[in-house]
Every structure is written in C-alpha cells, then in structure tokens.
C-alpha cells in the first residue's frame, strides 16, 4: 500500500492512516512549513512528509490511496481536481476524502452578505468566498464518469455542542473568515467581525449550551 495524504496538517491523522493500513509508504503533503515542522515527531517507518501545494498535485498512477481530510474545500474546480486525483491512482486505487459542506448555513451566508456591505465591499474589491464544494450527487456522478464503479458518498451532520454562540464565531473565524481577514488586514477586519457577529446573532438564538450542526461530505471510491 502506497498512500498520500493531501493537506496533512500536523500529521497525526496521516500517522494513524499509515499505521491502520500497515502501508509500506505514506506521504503527507502540506503547504505550511509550520505544520510540517510538527510532523517530525511522527515521521519514520515508511511515513514521510513533504512541502507542497495540493492544488498542483499531479502524480500519475503512483498511489494506491489518495486521502484528504478537510483540505480540498480550499481548492477551486473540483471536477478538474478529482480528475487529477483519479490519474494519480494505480489500477485498483482508492480515493477517500472529507470536505465541509456548510455553504447554505447562516455562518457562511452571513459572511457573504457582510462582504457585500460598505466599506468592506470596496476594500475587498468585490471578493466573497466562493462556493467550491459540490453537492453530494454531483460528486457521485463525477466519480462514476471518472471510472469509479464502487463508491459511497454521504452527507453527514456532526452535532457540536458549544458553550455559547460566541464560540460559533470563533470556530468560523479560524476557517470561513480566514480569507476575509487576510484581505482586510488588522485595521478593517475587527469591524468586519463585529458586523458579522451582529448579523449572525440575528439568526442564532442565545442558548447555552449552543447546538452547532456542522455538515460534511465524505466520499470513497475505488475503480
């Protein structure tokens, strides 16, 4: 078994994958040097890590398993992306991917709405975080067209119980709001965040604990 983990982060999941599969070789790929520095603690025994942009990953018939956990939702054009991942697989290769799928939830819709308000609209140059993740049925059709005859595509709702709705804002700040923070900078982003919190709280009741349903798409396929 030769496996590659795209967007491996700090490497804990990659190490678990490597050990569970008793893989001969597993490669963790990530674009963050800081993340890869943390991977050193688990490297060895056929498990290695490499700096690289998963958007440019384009191996040919090299891997028995292409794996990715919560990373591919940052990559545009999933039709083209899955085509590249399919070409990276051996004849009986498998793909196993998980991506968040919350674009219809208030946490995401409010971010787009606030990005369209002045002065954020002008500072962002019209940018709003695009929806890159496909619908589950679109992934199923795409996998079939790529030659995968065995597949499972699931939309699951993970229940997260947080102390308050403020924690929802902190959760989203580290994910969905990251591109806005990078573009607005330290001067304007605090105003954006305050306005985001104001509009989001109009849709999320002030309950303690706060129930935060989080949708994810899990897909597996084998030729």
> What per-residue confidence (pLDDT) applies to 65?
98
Percent of the chain with pLDDT over 70: 100
Q: Are 39 and 10 in contact (CB under 8 A)?
A: yes
> What per-residue confidence (pLDDT) applies to 137?
98
Q: What is the rounded distance in angstroms from the CA atom of residue 7 to the CA atom of residue 111?
A: 25
pLDDT higher than 90, residue 73? yes
pLDDT higher than 90, residue 158? yes
> What per-residue confidence (pLDDT) applies to 110?
97
Dump pLDDT digits (tens) for 41-67: 999 999 999 999 999 999 999 999 999
Dump pLDDT digits (tens) for 100-124: 999 999 999 999 999 999 999 999 9
Q: How would residue 15 be classed by pLDDT, with cut points 50, 70 and 90? A: very high
Q: What is the mean pLDDT of residues 195-206?
A: 97
Dump pLDDT digits (tens) for 27-37: 999 999 999 99
Instruction: State the SS3 of the chain.
Output: CEEEEECCCCCHHHHHHHHHHCCCEEEEEECCHHHHHHHCCCCECCEEEEECCHHHCCCCCCEEEEEEECCHHHCCCHHHHHHHHHHCEEEEEEEEEEEECCCCCHHHHHHHHHHCCCCHHHHHCCCCCCCCCCCHHHHHHHHHHCCCCEEEEEEEEEEEEECCHHHHHHHHHCCCCHHHHHHHHHHHHHHHHHHHHHHHHCCCCCCCCEEEEEEEEEEEEEC
Q: How would residue 146 be classed by pLDDT, with cut points 50, 70 and 90? A: very high
Can the peptide bond before residue 25 be classed as cis, meaning omega within 30 degrees of 0? no
> What per-residue confidence (pLDDT) applies to 223?
85
Query: Could you tell me the domains of the chain?
Result: 1-100 (3.40.50.150)
The model's pTM: 0.91
């Amino acid at each position: 078994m030769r496996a590659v983990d795209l967007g491996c982060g700090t490497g804990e999941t990659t190490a678990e994958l490597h050990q569970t599969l008793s893989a001969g070789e597993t490669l963790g790929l990530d674009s963050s040097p800081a993340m890869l520095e943390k991977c050193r603690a688990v490297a060895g025994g056929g498990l290695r890590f490499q700096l690289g942009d998963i958007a440019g990953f384009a191996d040919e018939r090299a891997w028995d398993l292409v794996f990715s956990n919560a990373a591919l939702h940052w990559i545009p054009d999933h039709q083209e992306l899955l085509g590249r991942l399919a070409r990276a697989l051996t004849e009986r290769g498998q793909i196993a991917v998980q991506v968040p799928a919350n674009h219809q939830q208030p946490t995401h819709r409010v971010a787009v709405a606030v990005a369209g308000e002045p002065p954020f609209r002008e500072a962002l140059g019209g940018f709003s975080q695009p929806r890159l993740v496909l619908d589950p049925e679109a992934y199923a059709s795409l996998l079939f067209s790529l030659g995968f005859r065995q597949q499972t595509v699931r939309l699951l709702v993970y229940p997260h119980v947080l102390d308050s709705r403020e924690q929802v804002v902190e959760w989203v700040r580290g994910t969905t709001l990251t591109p806005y923070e990078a573009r607005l900078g330290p001067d304007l982003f605090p105003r954006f965040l305050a306005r985001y919190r104001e509009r989001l709280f109009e849709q999320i009741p002030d309950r303690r604990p706060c129930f935060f349903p989080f949708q994810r798409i899990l897909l597996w396929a084998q030729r």
